[in-house]
Amino acid sequence: MNGKQKTLAILTGTVLAAGLTSPAFGAASPAAQSPAASATAAGTGTSVVDWNRALITILSDPKAQPPTVHPTRSFALLQAAEYDAVTSITRTDPAYLFSVPAPQGARADVAADQAAHDVLVALYPAERASVDQQLSSQLSAITDGADKQAGVTVGAAVAGKLISLRSDDGSSATPPPFTPGTAPGDYRLTPPDFPAPVFTNWGSVKPFVLTSGSQFRPAAPPAVGTPEYAAALNEVKSLGSKTSTTRTADQTAAATFWAAAPVWNVWNQVAQDLVTSQNASLEQAVKVFARLDLSLADTAIAMYDAKYAYHVWRPVTAIQLGDTHYNPGIVGDPNWTPLLPTAPDPSYPGAHGALSQAAATTLAGFYGAQHQLTVTSKGVTRTFAGFQDAATEAWLSRIWSGQHTSIDNSAGQQLGKQVANFVAQHL
């Protein structure tokens, strides 16, 4: 067994243990699920998947929303609204935030569709025509009547309350400009284009479930002058170089794969496939997506809190400045270039490690750690024996692409797991 296989085996075992002990999202006893409640939850998870896909399509336009608003917020709002709309009617699970009055017989599937529609229209008014058309298509299959109208009323009420509550969460604040440091280890803009950081204030956005963005802030990383840092950086220098002779062809393919699309999109698409292939009920579908996207949104907030608490430089900076003798274990190379362009934010903790671990932990809680899955991004598919295998490859890919050290990735993994477990315990 090689080093990567050992890592995968150890981490998969960890997630398996977590999956066996993780409480079900909004779990309710069988006795609580009355026949009347089940009848009002008509429909499958298909429409939930459709609305999730619609959001991904909207976000494919870079002008859809301000670049300073992180997309995970939109996913969380969409899925939380659908979840609370359904639970307001079925009453089989506790609400995330709101439980609005609903008459007996109200259609939960209609409520979910209306809530999803209203959230997307509120977030993306320019997309109203296509969103209206999707709602009309969804509701046209349901016979008009008091039960249908009651579902519309419930969904609209939940969406309105949620959008109003989040209107002052700090997401619309103008991010303060970032001032690069000059000391060894300080983050500074990265070549070749030297883009300015965007999410400098995202760590102060009000979380959806966490008490604050700093709740699970990881400990400070090893100083850049330590042997531990030198070992981690030298690994990236070898494996992550654009001209690396030590990186395998499959590692190069994985690095490109996990960078091809936003990682939160990839994991939402994994959930889409799972909900569809498992023929999930409406109630199960809203649970899966709500827990996943609330976890991803809060992980993003917590991740940026830590990034700008420590503002650690990226590997490309550390390697190019190696001959400034900040660490005797590092030989600098001013011409070193990573396989892929570096993201414009500090290095610690790693985003792919944090977000992928949050997603893997969440989905393993529903489907079990050892669940064969395929992950597709931009038309390319990779196959994994479990969620942890996919998450581990996601963070390893950031070493292979020259983006992060293993120090960044370990902190990200820990953070994502902590957030996902907290979300599962408090919903």
Which pLDDT does position 39 carry in this prediction? 38
Are the CB atoms for 240 and 401 separated by under 8 Å?
A: yes
CA distances from 225 to 70, 180, 233, 289 (A): 33, 19, 11, 43
Q: Tens digit of pLDDT for each residue in 55-80? A: 999 999 999 999 999 999 999 999 99
- pLDDT higher at 41 or 185: 185
Give the residue carrying structure tokens 């309710």: 28
For 160, other C-beta atoms within 10 Å of its C-beta total 17
Q: How far apart are CA 54 and CA 51, in angstroms?
A: 5
Give pLDDT, residue 42: 57
Is 202:348 a contact under the CB 8 Å cutoff? no
| Number of Cβ atoms within 10 Å of the Cβ of 1 | 8
- Cβ(315)–Cβ(240) below 8 Å: yes
Average pLDDT over residues 239-264: 98
Q: Cα separation of 372 and 190, whole Å? A: 38
On the CB side of 75, how many CA atoms lie within 13 Å of its CA? Answer: 31
pLDDT for 91-147, tens place per residue? Answer: 989 999 999 999 999 999 999 999 999 999 999 999 999 999 999 999 999 999 999
Q: Flag the least confident range among 33-42, 254-263, 328-337, 377-386.
A: 33-42
Residues in the chain: 427
Judged against a pLDDT cut of 90, whether residue 14 lies above it is answered with no
Nearest in space to 396 (alpha carbons), one of 304, 223, 215, 382 = 382
For residue 150, the number of C-alpha atoms closer than 13 Å in the C-beta half-sphere is: 18
Residue 92: what pLDDT? 87
pLDDT-derived band at 44, boundaries 50, 70, 90: confident
pLDDT one-digit tens code per residue, 283-303: 999 999 999 999 999 999 999
